[in-house]
Amino acid sequence: MLAANDRQDDIVTLARAVGRVSVDDLAARFEVSPQTIRKDLNDLCEKRILTRVHGGAIIASSIENVSYEARKLIGAEEKRRIGRAAAALIPNKSSLFINIGTTTEEVAAGLHAHEGLLVITNNLNVATGLYRNPKIDVIVVGGPVRSDGAVIGSVAVDLIHKFKVDTAVIGASAIDEDGTLLDFDYEEVKVAQAIIQNARRVILVADRLKFERAAPIRIANLSEVDAFVTDRLPSEEMRALCQAHGVSVVETAVEGVGARRPLEDG
């Protein structure tokens, strides 16, 4: 059995690789009790290396995001459900922006049965997944490309401002208790803000872990969103905030929710 310090070092390495670790998985991996793992996680949280979330922990950073590969793995099934539910809100024969993000990519994956869509995106992963579909036209904005397939910068912002679309699909790296949507990259945020400004309707897609994270740069506020698709709201206070701003909420973890068909044409 590893000494506590060695085990905690391995836990941090694993968390950096996959983004989130769970008590049960760690207990099985290290062949120790869940109580031992909880103590390890509490120790690492006291050192501000990790942040506790339900059932486990994530890397604690309010200034730097985890890697794209790790983000893909965090809450993967929840993101797939959110993506399908959000795609069901997109009508056929309409135009939309799809922004950067692993959850927005799941929305794009849910659009393959749609017809007559025009998709403008700054996410190369979205474009790669959709451009072969003969019923969907794809426009990719220009600009510098990050290692995660995100296109950012002033050229991207300028092109987005040339459109006025029916729907924007956006994500966020963190959501504050007052409804502030937050992210880590200033250039990425400028693109997201342009997308919000040039859409008639804004759909936010984010899992509940985003309420347990922090990030330094403000994108917008929930009051600027028309619909919010998530696995589950974290509190009645957040539900009340959404209601106060007239935000329609879809919770995919609620039985029977999230399986709606696309809206009829027109």
**H or E element at residue 59:** strand 56-59
**Three-state secondary-structure class, residue 203:** strand
Give the model confidence (pLDDT) of 187-219 as tens digits.
999 999 999 999 999 999 999 888 988 889 999
How far apart CA 141 and CA 144 sit, in angstroms, is 10
How far apart CA 200 and CA 91 sit, in angstroms, is 13
φ/ψ (deg, to 5) at 130: -115, -20
Give the distance between the most distant pair of CA atoms in the chain.
64
The first and second tokens of residue 216, run together, are 């330094």
The answer to whether domain 4-60 and domain 71-251 are alike in fold is no
Give the model confidence (pLDDT) of 18-43 as tens digits.
778 999 999 999 999 999 999 999 98
How far apart CA 102 and CA 148 sit, in angstroms, is 10
- Cβ(10)–Cβ(21) below 8 Å: no
Q: Specify the higher pLDDT residue, 166 or 50.
A: 166
How far apart CA 53 and CA 209 sit, in angstroms, is 7
Residues 6+ apart with CB under 8 A from 207: 75, 78, 79, 82, 103, 230, 231
Q: What is residue 3's predicted lDDT score, i.e. its pLDDT?
A: 80
Percent of the chain with pLDDT over 90: 70
pLDDT score of 61 more than 70: no
At 63, is the pLDDT very low, low, confident or very high (cuts 50, 70, 90)? very low
Q: Which sequence spans correspond to the domains of the chain?
A: 4-60, 71-251
Fold designation for 4-60: Arc Repressor Mutant, subunit A (1.10.10)
The first and second tokens of residue 177, run together, are 């208790």
- Cβ(31)–Cβ(25) below 8 Å: no
Give the model confidence (pLDDT) of 225-243 as tens digits.
999 999 999 999 999 999 9
pTM equals 0.77
CATH code that applies to domain 71-251: 3.40.50.1360
